[in-house]
């Protein structure tokens, strides 16, 4: 796919999510004008892209040292720039109307998006512009900020009293004084949603937790999460909020990092403490163990304000999708909704764009 086609696809995502109120006439006009408008806009975007990409970090290899983590940061930066540039160029030009049909997918999460990465179509959208708490989904942003800083992944981090949750007084199986590598700390934060691990990643960032959270917010704006706000690295703070549309962008950005893909989908991990004790951790998303699912990235979340949440990048019926499910009731509702999406796609429900009103 050439540069212009990629821009047009990215534009369809941004505007499908942002402009659900567009009229049917605009939808028809889009098909008539799409090729000419994409070509015209691409000239301006490509010029800006060439200038800004020159300033991005050069790619290097592997992730286990300062040199080893630079490659993915450069690629992720370029990708994020292209997404935001496409959004800015096209948001005033194209309007995509919402469609509804009796056979449209019915989900029970309070907010949801199903986005087809292969063609930029939003297959399902519900309350996608309402900002709401995102709980531990915040840890995807935490991981991106750590990796962008090119910190040594083999550096040892010790869990400190400052990492203990005093906001909600949640428990942890990770004792104060435990020493892990930064890589293992990130693994526990992403795979098992370990809050002390996420807090330690922020605390050991250059400048400390305050500088880390500021960087989270700058990163959110850079990748197009216009309605996102972060107050901590764990998601325990109910102020950490974003729209479902924002989270599509965050999932796509996070998917550019091989470490996040690997760590978030690891099924289990055995942690050996200095006293010889073994701690067995499982992934908080049981779907990663389901052979019927092909999940490239995932993150779950829960606090009372947020309800049960999950975001995923997954391939269903040979179609790469981003799935966002927020504020589900009950222990299993978010995964039940995910399985409804899977069955719907496999049955051909995503063959045409069906967007739920909401």
- Given the residues 125, 136, 192, 233, select the one marked as catalytic: 136
Residue pair 236/228 in contact (Cβ under 8 Å)? The answer is no
CA distance 85 to 7: 9
- Given the residues 126, 139, 219, 353, select the one marked as catalytic: 139
Pairing status of strand 268-272 against strand 156-158: unpaired
Q: Which of these, 192, 215, 203, 198, lies nearest to 138 by C-alpha position? A: 198
274 is catalytic: no
- Given the residues 192, 193, 233, 328, select the one marked as catalytic: 193
193 is catalytic: yes
138 is catalytic: no
Catalytic residues, by residue number, are 136, 139, 193
């Amino acid at each position: 796919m050439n540069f212009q086609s990629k821009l047009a696809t990215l534009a369809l995502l941004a505007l499908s999510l942002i402009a659900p109120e567009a009229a049917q006439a605009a939808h028809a006009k889009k098909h008539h004008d799409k090729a000419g408008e994409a070509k015209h806009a691409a000239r301006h975007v490509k010029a800006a892209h060439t200038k800004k990409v020159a300033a991005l970090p050069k790619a290097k290899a592997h992730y286990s040292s300062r040199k080893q983590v630079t490659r993915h940061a450069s690629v992720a930066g370029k990708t994020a720039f292209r997404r935001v540039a496409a959004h800015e160029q096209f948001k005033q030009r194209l309007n995509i109307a919402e469609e509804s049909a009796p056979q449209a997918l019915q989900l029970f999460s309070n907010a949801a998006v199903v986005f087809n990465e292969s063609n930029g179509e939003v297959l399902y959208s519900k309350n996608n512009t309402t900002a709401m708490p995102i709980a531990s989904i915040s840890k995807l942003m935490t991981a991106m900020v750590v990796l962008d800083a090119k910190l040594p992944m083999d550096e040892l981090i010790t869990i400190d009293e400052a990492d203990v949750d005093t906001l909600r007084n949640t428990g942890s199986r990770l004792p104060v004084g435990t020493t892990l590598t930064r890589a293992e700390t990130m693994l526990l934060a992403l795979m098992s949603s370990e809050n002390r691990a996420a807090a330690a990643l922020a605390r050991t960032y250059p400048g400390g937790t305050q500088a880390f959270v500021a960087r989270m917010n700058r990163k959110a704006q850079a990748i197009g999460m216009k309605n996102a706000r972060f107050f901590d690295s764990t998601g325990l703070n109910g102020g950490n909020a974003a729209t479902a549309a924002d989270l599509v962008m965050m999932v796509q950005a996070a998917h550019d990092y091989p470490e996040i893909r690997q760590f978030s989908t690891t099924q289990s991990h055995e942690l050996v403490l200095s006293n010889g004790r073994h701690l067995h951790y499982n992934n908080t998303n049981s779907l990663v163990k389901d052979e019927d699912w092909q999940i490239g990235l995932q993150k779950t979340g829960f606090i009372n304000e947020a309800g049960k949440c999950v975001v995923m990048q997954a391939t269903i019926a040979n179609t790469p999708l981003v799935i966002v499910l927020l504020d589900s009731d009950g222990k299993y509702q978010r995964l039940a909704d995910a399985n409804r999406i899977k069955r719907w796609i496999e049955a051909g429900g995503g063959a045409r764009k069906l967007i739920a009103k909401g």
